[in-house]
Structure 1
Amino acid sequence: DYRETAPEYFNIFAEDGLKAAQEYWDKAKEELGVDSITLSLLYEPSDPSKPAAEFIQSEIQKLDGITVEMVSQEKENRIEKQKAREFDMVLTRWGPDYADPTTYLNLMLTGNAYNYGDYSSKEYDAKMAEAAGATSDEERWKKLQEAEAILMEDVPVVGIFQVGGASLINKNVKGIENHAVGVPYIYKNLDKTN
């Protein structure tokens, strides 16, 4: 329900998106005083991470002057490298464990243990504090959207994809609870009729 009421971001696609990205990158190169740069991309060598990382590499390298060096590590090693801040970019994942935008937005608070890029914004932290102290649901939602707008301007993280799945369930089986966040299936009320 949050996404339905929040603004859309990153909605320039295909050739228009590539053109805009190249314009931003050209400005960045000028500001940095460089013609090219090599960035490392830390990822896991399994599905869906490996093909996603390869796709990210191919898309970024469409820009003039960027090389993406692939750094494949098994999950445990990837996590340790993240904790040690040994990456330029990392393809990681986060699964929401409760149905609220703060399951994602809290990650980018200054000092959050999972804020591996050490993003810090006083404005963002203040907006999240305002959301936490809101006196109505409407005010809280508005403050969360304002906080998200700060993140989308700063872009410390980018959502790349969402995994999904399908289950075949016998029509005679009743009582399986399906949840979009947290534990996907709960079977405690399972009932099979003939």
Structure 2
Amino acid sequence: DDDVSKKIGEYIQGALKKQNVDVKLLSLPKKERLAREGRGDYDLSLASWAPDYQDATTYLNLFTTGNPFNMMDYSNKQYDRLLKQAESELDQDKRLALLSKAESVLLDDQAISPVYQRKNAFLQNTEVKNLARHNVGTDISYKYVEIERK
């Protein structure tokens, strides 16, 4: 129920309206959204996921049969098999081909519809040194930050 999610929902609602599809938006606190997803009490859900580690499986594993984050109970034997094969494939080119095929299965089934990729812009004082920004996991590490006064 934050402002960004509301704006994204309104944008999607407007885009669908142009295609003569009416969508009613219901903005819920995260706890209630998760409870409704767990009960299957929804038609569409707008949610996000940030990567925990730098690999496609940080997203793809979410939709395997039985995964606790697979709230819509998506299940496809071919998808599960491709991810299982990729898990034990040592040849990186073959592994990426398997993951790509799995992603195609997921998208062809319309189990999910990726809408956008989050990106942030930062302004940083030039006196702040060694602030680490990460693309995966936690956004920022302050462990080695130093302030160099001029």
What interval of TM-score do these two structures reach, taking the shorter chain for normalisation? over 0.9
Provide the identity percentage: 35
Aligned counterpart for 2:12 among listed residues 46, 50, 56: 56
Pairing partner for 2:100 from 129, 133, 145: 145
Which residue identity lines up with residue 3 of structure 2 in the other structure?
Answer: D
Q: CA offset at residue 74 of structure 1?
A: 1.4
Q: CA deviation at 1:145?
A: 0.8
Structure 1: unaligned runs, 5 residues or longer: 1-43
| CA displacement, residues 37-94 of structure 1 (integer Å, 9 cap, x when unaligned) | xxxxxxx3x2211111111112122224x32122221111111111111100001111
Deviation readout 1:119-138 (Å, 9 max, x if unpaired): 11000000001100102222
Shift of 1:114: 1.0
Aligned match of 1:116: 71
Match of 2:25, SS state, is: strand
Which among 103, 116, 124 is matched to residue 161 of structure 1?
A: 116
Question: What TM-score, normalized to structure 1?
Answer: 0.72
State the SS of the aligned residue for 1:89: coil
State how 1:81-92 maps to structure 2 within 5 Å: 81-92=36-47
- TM-score between both structures, scaled by the size of structure 2: 0.92
Q: How many residues align?
A: 149
1:179 aligned onto 2:134? yes
Gaps of 5+ in 2: none
Pairwise CA RMSD: 1.3
